[in-house]
Chains A and B, each alone.
Chain A
């Protein structure tokens, strides 16, 4: 009887485990089926490198280059802002901060992760956008830069918590050894601990970026959503995610527009998959 119970439980857990993979595969197949249909009407080259996005015109113009570049630009901007601050914050928490402050900081960062992105977007729209406009004397504050700054806030919790983990798991003996050899605290951190934790920190950065590129609501609210080829970060851009979110309601099932939006989904999937795999490789290298 006990053996039987054990058997049932084991199989149940197995089914649950397989279900996850099963669902991912189903989602991916659906995405492929709906998305690849767009290539019947538009060649992949024209779709990926076309510079005009007018999906509801007759005939529709489905070039997503401005959208890809928009997403990359916003993500790059967010990385430039969030990586140095995030990593520095992780170093402070893991190595420098006194225990009490450490707990407060960690709680604060978790709180930052808990803010829904639409709230961040709304705050950005009301405070950050006018500020960006006035500081840079722009015609409008709805720019890639505003999006980058807001997304940096969203990436930071991921970066800090994983990087802090990586720093923390560096064996104490490394630091002690460095200090015993006469290194200052800074030298020990910079020359010994950071290199030892580098793969974990890289993974943290990649996961942070992965979060940013998939983010939708905040960017839709504050980047202006103009589908132009961006020349500078002080311009409005339209991202892949915002395009799907804004247009999905309108797209009639089975139309070119609908297929094009799913094809954008594939592009997004490929990008974030690549990022996650890179992060995974770094994480495994560490072990």
Chain B
């Protein structure tokens, strides 16, 4: 009997501790798979300095993050696309007031197998490939093989961004869609792996995922402009045509712990972490980071394979 009582007390105490912690010191961050590494890096450094606070970061896709912000199950949503009007309406209905904070930039790299002879494309050609108008590499000066189109799932901000800005060229009246034959993979890492092993594949993802197993294509806005490679420099200057802001959304203007975390992300230290995780800071980084602005930075990233396990674990545990 005593033992039972003891057990019950301990359980209750533990539960109380968990719930108390939940109220005060826990910030739930959820959303974009592209930003998971960045979010986790921020959270780790932040928690080193603020040992009483607890930040939890999970992926799942921008849409997932925004819809859990709307349903009130997370404090901060990470998103690699802007919130849709429909989502704002829905949020308002539920008494949530989405507040947008731009925390970094990301260049979207279009990648092929290193052996693929094609190394530059225009945006029009890209649109034709991904909508299925161009189906063979021969049409682009490559070898005679069918193009395998890789995309992220529809819950990915990367998928939506690519569709709106490359396939539809920002034209709201356009009805261009990904070709039905496009393979929908569940993570950026899966696309990186498939491209690394498949000479006929073409895919796209945030430039943080480029390694020497893939070749990032140079992209030009139209046939008359320069072909640009996705580097931090080209994204900051706006020369590289496919780049996007990385955003955090909070309910109303950030307050308390959420504000503390957002301020940290925007601080110099937070922006240094942005550079370290291969994204582009919103302000030009100070002098000591000039190293990472070298054009060859793209090939010097941490090999994607090192990230493989964490990526997959995050994906599996991400509630899918």
- Residues of chain A at the chain B interface (Cβ within 8 Å): 52-57, 66, 118, 122, 125, 130, 133, 139-140, 142, 220-221, 224-228, 236, 238, 245-255
Contact A118 B316 (CB under 8 A): yes
Given the known interface contacts A249-B155, A250-B61, A250-B154, the answer about A228 and B316 at a Cβ–Cβ threshold of 8 Å is no
How many chain B residues touch A (CB < 8 A): the figure is 38
Identify B182's interface contact among A118, A133, A226, A249, CB under 8 A.
Answer: A226
A273 → B minimal CB distance (Å): 25
Partner among A238, A253, A255 whose Cβ is within 8 Å of the Cβ of B184: A238
Selected from B145, B155, B177, B312, the residue in CB contact (under 8 A) with A247 is B155
Judging by beta carbons under 8 Å apart, are B194 and A122 in contact? no
- Point out the residues of chain B lying under 8 angstroms from A248, CB to CB: 320
Pair B183/A142 contact, Cβ less than 8 Å: yes
For chain B, what secondary structure do more than half of its interface residues adopt (helix, strand, loop), or is it mixed?
Answer: mixed
Q: Judging by beta carbons under 8 Å apart, are A252 and B67 in contact?
A: yes
Nearest-CB residue, chain A, relative to B93: A254
B155 touches A252 (CB 8 A): no
**Is B283 interfacial (CB-CB < 8 Å)?**
no
Contact A139 B146 (CB under 8 A): yes
Indicate if B27 sits at the interface (CB-CB under 8 A).
no
- Answer whether residue B267 sits at the interface, using C-beta atoms and an 8 A cutoff: no
Report if B217 contacts A (CB, 8 A): no
Question: Cβ of A228: which chain B residues have Cβ within 8 Å of it?
Answer: 180-181
The one of A56, A122, A133 that contacts B312, using a Cβ cutoff of 8 Å: A122
Which residues, 187 to 218 on B, are CB-close (under 8 Å) to A?
190, 193-194, 197-198, 200-201
Complex Cα gap A174–B61 (Å)? 60
Asked if A225 meets B90 with Cβ closer than 8 Å, knowing A246-B153, A249-B67, the reply is no
Instruction: Give the contacts of B85-139 with A (CB-CB under 8 A).
Output: 86-87, 90
> Which residues in B have their C-beta under 8 angstroms from that of A254?
90
B192 to chain A, nearest CB (A): 13
Do residues A247 and B153 form an inter-chain contact, with CB atoms below 8 A? yes
Output the nearest chain B residue to A236 by Cβ-Cβ distance.
Answer: B183
Q: Which chain B residue shows the least CB distance to A66?
A: B180
Asked if residues B184 and A246 are in contact (CB atoms below 8 Å), the reply is: yes
Whole-angstrom distance between the Cβ of B196 and the nearest chain A Cβ: 11
Q: Which of A133, A224, A238, A250 contacts B155 (CB 8 A)?
A: A250
CA distance A249 to B155 in the complex (A): 7
B25 within 8 A of A: no
Q: Look across to chain A and name the residue whose beta carbon is closest to the beta carbon of B63.
A: A250
Query: Is B70's CB under 8 angstroms from A252's CB?
Result: yes
Closest CB of chain A to B298's CB: distance in Å? 25
Minimal Cβ-Cβ distance residue in B for A245: B320
Q: How many A-B residue pairs have CB under 8 A?
A: 92
With A122-B312, A139-B200 known to touch, is A249 a contact of B64 (CB < 8 Å)?
yes
Interface centre among B87, B184, B316 (most CB of A within 10 A): B184
Q: Which of A52, A56, A130 has the most CB of B within 10 A?
A: A56
In the assembled complex, the CB of B79 is this many whole angstroms from the nearest CB of chain A, namely 12
Given pairs A221-B186, A249-B319, 9 additional interface contacts (CB within 8 A): A130-B197, A139-B146, A225-B186, A245-B320, A246-B154, A246-B184, A246-B186, A249-B67, A249-B155
* Closest-CB distance, B285 to chain A (whole angstroms): 33
Give B56-71 interface residues, CB cut-off 8 Å to A: 60-61, 63-64, 67, 70-71
B154 — which chain A residues lie within 8 A by C-beta? 55-56, 246-247, 250
A252 & B184 in contact (Cβ 8 Å cutoff): no
Knowing A246-B155, A252-B86, A252-B87, the reply to whether A140 touches B148 (Cβ < 8 A) is yes
Determine the distance from Cα of A139 to Cα of B144 in the docked complex, in whole angstroms: 11
Q: In whole angstroms, what is the CA distance A245 to B316 when docked?
A: 12
Inter-chain contacts of B320 with A (CB < 8 A): 245-246, 248-249
CA distance A249 to B135 in the complex (A): 31
Other-chain contact of B177, A57, A130, A246 (Cβ < 8 Å):
A57
Given A249-B320, A255-B86, are A224 and B184 neighbors across the interface (CB < 8 Å)? Answer: yes
Q: How far is the CB of B187 from chain A (nearest CB, A)?
A: 10
CB neighbours of A224 from chain B (8 A): 183-185
Find residues 17-69 in chain B having any chain A CB closer than 8 Å to their own CB: 60-61, 63-64, 67
Known: A140-B194, A140-B201. A249 touches B63 (CB 8 A): yes
Q: Which 4 A-B pairs give the minimum distances between C-beta atoms?
A: A250-B155, A250-B63, A249-B64, A225-B184
**Quick check: is B160 within 8 A (CB to CB) of the other chain?**
yes
CA gap between A140 and B151 in the complex, in Å: 14
Q: Which residue of A lies closest to B60 (CB)?
A: A249
* A148 CA / B252 CA spacing, docked (Å): 48
Chain B residues within 8 Å of A125, by CB: 190, 193
Query: Considering only CB atoms, which chain B residue lies closest to A228 in the complex?
Result: B180
In the complex, B224 has a CB within 8 A of chain A? no
Interface membership of B288, Cβ < 8 A: no
Q: Flag if B63 contacts A227 (CB, 8 Å).
A: no
B175 interfacial by beta-carbon distance below 8 Å: yes
A53 nearest CB neighbor, chain B only? B180
In the complex, what distance in Å separates the CA atom of A248 from the CA atom of B320? 8
A251 and B70 CA atoms in complex are apart in Å by 12
CB distance from B87 to the nearest CB of A (A): 6
Task: Pick 23 A–B contacts, CB within 8 A, sort by A.
Answer: A55-B154, A125-B190, A139-B146, A139-B148, A139-B198, A140-B194, A140-B198, A140-B200, A224-B183, A224-B184, A226-B182, A227-B184, A228-B180, A228-B181, A246-B155, A246-B320, A247-B153, A247-B155, A249-B60, A249-B155, A249-B319, A249-B320, A252-B70
